[in-house]
Amino acid sequence: MEPKYTIYLVLLLLTTTLRSSSANPNRSSQDPFILSSCQTTRYPSLCVRTLSAYATMIRHNNDQDLAQTALTISLTRARSVAIFVAKLTKGTQGFKRREYLAIKDCIQVLGNSVDRLGQSVKELGRAGHAVASEDFMWKMSNVQTWVSAALTDETTCLDGFSGQTMGGKVKRLIRSKVVHVAQVTSNALALVNHFAEKRRVQIP
């Protein structure tokens, strides 16, 4: 099963690169399944925009596909932001000590977030093949715990840049990117929870 979801991640990464030329604009903008599912999230407009680019990869009315795609997008964007923040440490001359330490802490917690999201993508794939209710709920509990922890990690990164003593330059460079990832992760968690609840009542 793990190779299957490694392939899934690679396909999504390729789609991310080529989405401007490969996305179906008609389905992307009007997919009723994505529109209705995103109403369960905290940031529905962002949810629709994020998932619509990958509408052709989501089978109609398939909640697992939707949650799997949302989680994988969260993983790829968290990894991208972690790389971006890490590159900032190469220009330490322009940062105060507190700013530099906050960046280092942010790199660490974003790394944790990436690891947990990666675990979650694989575990969600396993959960989709669970036959017994207990097995499904155990795996989904793992996914929910790890995604929640990843969201906490992203929030912790932002906390390091709070307060008036922190320079505005660093805030502008990091805050918008990390806030975006945290919102995407929050939406992914909501879709995971929705899938878990719907599938739970279907498995004996």
Determine the average pLDDT of the residues in 103-119: 95
Tell which wins on pLDDT, 116 or 197.
116
What number of helices (H) and strands (E) belong to the chain? 8, 0
Confidence at 99, pLDDT banded by 50, 70, 90: confident
Q: Which two tokens stand for residue 154?
A: 């992203």
Residues 182, 70: Cα–Cα separation, whole Å: 12
Question: Which residue shows structure tokens 């529109």?
Answer: 35
pLDDT in tens, 115-168: 999 999 999 999 988 878 889 999 999 999 999 999 999 999 988 877 665 666
Q: Which two tokens stand for residue 43?
A: 């940031």
Residues 49, 27: Cα–Cα separation, whole Å: 12
Residues 7, 2: Cα–Cα separation, whole Å: 9
Please give the model's pTM, rounded to 2 decimal places: 0.82
Task: Look at residue 111 in the predicted model and tell me its pLDDT.
Answer: 96
Determine the average pLDDT of the residues in 165-191: 86
Q: What is the DSSP letter of 48?
A: H
Residue 170 has pLDDT above 90, yes or no: no
Tell which wins on pLDDT, 67 or 21.
67
Q: What is the DSSP letter of 52?
A: H
Residues 68, 125: Cα–Cα separation, whole Å: 8
Residues 20, 43: Cα–Cα separation, whole Å: 23
Question: Which stretch of DSSP H or E encloses residue 80?
Answer: helix 63-88
Degrees to nearest 5, angle at CA 64 with 63 and 70: 90
For 200, other C-beta atoms within 10 Å of its C-beta total 12
Question: Which residue shows structure tokens 């805030």?
Answer: 171
